[in-house]
Structure 1
């Protein structure tokens, strides 16, 4: 079973959509804080925060800490001696609170719609301290708070919220945290719930005491009850968040604790914005965790930062992307600093069309991607730096049982290789290994082979006329990668000079036009539309127009 876990989304719903499109898992756990502000604009959020702080101060002065700010304001409005100013402010606060509830519910509905396009996977959510109780939202049937689900051999259960007052969020709508410090275990809601359902995998927003919970200058901020339960019960995995700076994995007793740090971008106390996109991919076989990847999603690219394997009873970390991993430790942005750019129009159109088709990705597509990932892992020790880009139906996510796999191979070939890399021994040997590993399970065809040494050389020389580099840039702009960790360093080199990358893309436009107008390419789009029809999906007129614009051919207007 493969679990993908991300937390502290903070409103990055588009990134969640990308996560579902660009990864494959049996179970996705998208944990709180799901939203950032309970309004659609910052002005309303700031005004609500100011009013809430005003009445929170008044509440404390009047000794009414036992009620929420919203209930206090309701009581205040009924008092006979309330000032005219406070009555006016109270009325505004009540109106803002009602609007906040409506906006939050609408935001959760958007997230629920995003989840609906991945029906072949389990997707669970958990509210954080920025969230309202999800049982009153469109996410109620995915809510882990005080719920448990059986997936294969594992019971997954969760407890949301945190032992903190979150300014700017309506207090009466958040999950009441009945598991804080000082609550006796017999009355501790979280402890008693886990004791009743006995989960092997626990998901909480607030971490366990003393494990990935350090917050300067406060110190440990985790839940003693959670730590006590995990220490004394057979909990395989405890997935947490909340404390952005205490990320990582740590095994204590028999439980592996995991906090990937924020998935959404966050604003620090110094008003700096730190990029997010971090998540863990966890592989389980029965009751054993076999493999963990620490990954980062940014701008539709998934980077492998570190890998974890257990050796001699200890988890051993291997850093894969030193630049991004080191930047994460130093709280430095990397991908956010890359200048934004637009691809040539043909590529931008194709990506829009592909993203539409990806919403209906078939299980057959995911099986093919998983199989190729497995094969690469198997043959990687025998082939230096092997990666692939897949094209066709696997790329757009609409493979059927009879679909083959069209691919581009990336290898590091020697100087002895001929110009036609499909004829080189490196490519032939790799293709033979793939064929032997597939054992006729899927038909496949290697359409092209790219020498990564040649790509690297031409990037360093800024040779935009290199046909090898042009092909590399073209494939990387539209295709779906397998073993992206091999290709990522070269794309990073390209992205250090965006003007050069744009120049290379500009030089491939004529080749791209020939490619998109081939009869096989045109037939592919007709085939994809027919596949959608079989599941009752009609191609929207807006997408049809984009396809026609992309193909730019009069004879194709019957699509």
Structure 2
């Protein structure tokens, strides 16, 4: 059976992870420690890392794109906390301070592409009101395409969603469409050029299998639509 676009993305991501740089590993460790420090302060958070760290091909100045997953009781009726949420503001500031201090003198931006309130997720699953919920779609989508930090905080919710056959039937076309839209952006395509250049700059050749998989992914071959 031909692979759909999500499966191709996952295969490609895992192939690039073989080239993890020391900067990628150091940053992942810094983010893990930051979430542990926040937990000690009473804030339960996790992250899904996207972009170059997700693929392991990181340089000292590479920015970080991520999804914030937070337990916020104040806005538990919302899938995403509003911009003025004090909990989210504090958590973002603390993560930035901790990570930048630990990785100094590296300087880079941390950009939060989305926020998901895990208290909302917990309630929707408890009430068995998961079908058609875009926040839950996003949670499972990010889990599949990202690189997790503090995975135990949210993986039980993902496992429950994946066990719901009706939910899975709904999310597959949604996820394929979302990833296809991302694929068609120039930024996404240029990112792979950067990853390949960084690998070659380390004196390494791109294996033929990786080049073929990248070509198939970029051209959308085998997309089952």
Select 2:93's aligned residue among 404, 413, 432. Answer: 432
Larger helix fraction of residues: 2
Alignment deviations for residues 154-181 of structure 1 (CA, whole Å, 9 cap, x no partner): xxxxxxxxxxxxxxxxxxxxxxxxxxxx
Q: Secondary structure at the match of 1:359?
A: helix
Q: CA deviation at 1:393?
A: 1.2
Select 2:81's aligned residue among 421, 438, 441. Answer: 421
Q: Secondary structure at the match of 2:132?
A: coil
Unaligned runs of 5+ in 2: 221-225
CA contact (8 A) 1:422 1:449 kept: no
Q: Secondary structure at the match of 1:447?
A: strand
Larger strand fraction of residues: 1
Q: CA deviation at 1:374?
A: 1.1
CA contact (8 A) 2:45 2:153 kept: yes
Structure 1 segments, 4+ long, off by >4 Å, are 416-420
CA contact (8 A) 1:473 1:505 kept: no
Partner of 2:223: none
- TM-score, with normalisation over the residues of structure 2? 0.83
Partner of 2:214: 547
Go from structure 1 to structure 2 and tell me whether the alpha carbon gap of 1:419 and 1:356 turns closer, same or farther (over 3 Å shift): closer
Q: CA deviation at 1:498?
A: 4.5
Q: CA deviation at 1:514?
A: 1.0
- TM-score, with normalisation over the residues of structure 1? 0.35
**Distance in 2 between the 1:418 and 1:454 partners?**
6
CA contact (8 A) 1:361 1:397 kept: yes
Unaligned runs of 5+ in 1: 1-341, 554-559
Alignment deviations for residues 234-270 of structure 1 (CA, whole Å, 9 cap, x no partner): xxxxxxxxxxxxxxxxxxxxxxxxxxxxxxxxxxxxx
Alignment deviations for residues 400-432 of structure 1 (CA, whole Å, 9 cap, x no partner): 111122111101223377676361412222101
Partner of 1:386: 45
**Distance in 2 between the 1:499 and 1:420 partners?**
23
Asked if residue 368 in structure 1 is aligned to residue 27 in structure 2, the reply is: yes
Alignment deviations for residues 359-381 of structure 1 (CA, whole Å, 9 cap, x no partner): 11111110001111111111113
CA contact (8 A) 2:24 2:56 kept: yes
Partner of 2:70: 411
Deviates more, 1:460-469 or 1:392-401: 460-469
Q: CA deviation at 1:447?
A: 1.3
Which structure has the larger Rg? 1
Alignment deviations for residues 458-490 of structure 1 (CA, whole Å, 9 cap, x no partner): 344343321111111110011111111101211
Q: CA deviation at 1:538?
A: 2.5
**Distance in 2 between the 1:345 and 1:416 partners?**
34
Q: Number of paired residues?
A: 212
Q: What is the RMSD computed on CA atoms of the aligned residues?
A: 2.5
Partner of 1:303: none
Go from structure 1 to structure 2 and tell me whether the alpha carbon gap of 1:383 and 1:514 turns closer, same or farther (over 3 Å shift): farther
Select 1:480's aligned residue among 147, 166, 169. Answer: 147
Partner of 2:192: 525
